[in-house]
């Protein structure tokens, strides 16, 4: 229930709203997140705090909607770092985000498996 990676209550609610579209939502989130991560990496390499802030902000929003609580929290920290132009912590945070996303990705994939049919 209170899995720190993926909030199962949120998943139940999403399923309830999306009905048959639920697997599509999961696919969409994963594809969208890959794209966000790519943008984040580029922004970090360019040491562009504003770009880091915006990308982290958007990612945070969708993570929170999808119940990826821990990931949303990490994004919030990175967004804050961008806002304060405190880029020294950015590489470490980004690495944590990549790791957490890898976990979330596996969890969503298995969730996705259950709806194959």
Partner 1 sequence: MSARLSILIAEDSAADRMLLSTIVSRQGHRVLTVANGLEALALFEQERPQLVLMDALMPIMDGFEAARRIKLLAGEALVPIIFLTSLTEGEALVRCLEAGGDDFLAKPYNRVILEAKINAMDRLRRLQETVLQQRDLIARNNAFLLDEQRAAKAVFDKVAHAGCLDAPNVRYLQSPYALFNGDLLLAAFQPSGDMHVLLGDFTGHGLPAAIGAMPLAEAFYGMTAKGHSLREVLREVNAKLKRILPMGMFCCATLLNISFQRKVVEVWAGGLPDGYLLRGDGREHTPLVSRHLPLGVRDARSFNDALEVYPLEMGDRVLLLSDGVLEGSNAEGELFGEQRLLEVLAANRDDQALFDEIQAALIRFRGTQQDDISLVEIGVVESSSLGRPPVPQGGSVENAPLDWSATFEYRGATLRRHNPVPQVLQLLLEVPGLRLQAGALFSVLTELYANALEHGVLGLDSAMKADARGFADYYRLRTERLAELVEGYVRFDLRICPEPGGGRLTLLVDDSGPGFDGQAVMARQAQPERFSGRGLALVRQLSERCTWPAGGRGVSVEFSWRLEA
Fill in the per-residue mask, 1 to 40: x = in contact with partner 1 (CB under 8 A), - = not in contact.
---------x--xx--xx--x--xx--xx-xxx-------
d(CA 44, CA 9): 33
Least distance (Å) between residue 15 CB and partner 1 = 11
15, 41, 62, 87: which one binds partner 1 (CB under 8 A)? 62
43, 44, 52, 67: which one binds partner 1 (CB under 8 A)? 67
Nearer to partner 1, 24 or 91 (CB): 24
d(CA 50, CA 47): 9
Compute CA distances 42 → 33, 46, 74, 91, whole Å.
14, 6, 18, 12
65, 85, 95, 109: which one binds partner 1 (CB under 8 A)? 65
d(CA 5, CA 62): 14
Do residues 82 and 49 touch, judged by C-beta distance below 8 A?
Answer: yes
DSSP state of 4: S
Residue ranges binding partner 1 (CB under 8 A): 10, 13-14, 17-18, 21, 24-25, 28-29, 31-33, 54, 57-58, 60-62, 64-67
């Amino acid at each position: 229930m209170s899995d720190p990676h993926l909030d199962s209550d949120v998943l139940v609610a999403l399923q309830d709203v999306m009905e048959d579209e639920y697997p599509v939502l999961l696919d969409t989130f994963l594809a969208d997140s890959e794209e966000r991560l790519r943008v984040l990496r580029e922004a970090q390499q360019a040491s562009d705090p504003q770009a880091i802030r915006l990308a982290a902000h958007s990612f945070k929003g969708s993570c929170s909607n999808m119940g990826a609580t821990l990931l949303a929290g990490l994004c919030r920290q990175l967004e804050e770092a961008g806002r304060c132009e405190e880029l020294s912590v950015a590489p470490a945070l980004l690495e944590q985000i990549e790791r957490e996303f890898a976990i979330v990705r596996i969890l969503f994939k298995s969730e996705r498996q259950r709806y194959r049919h």
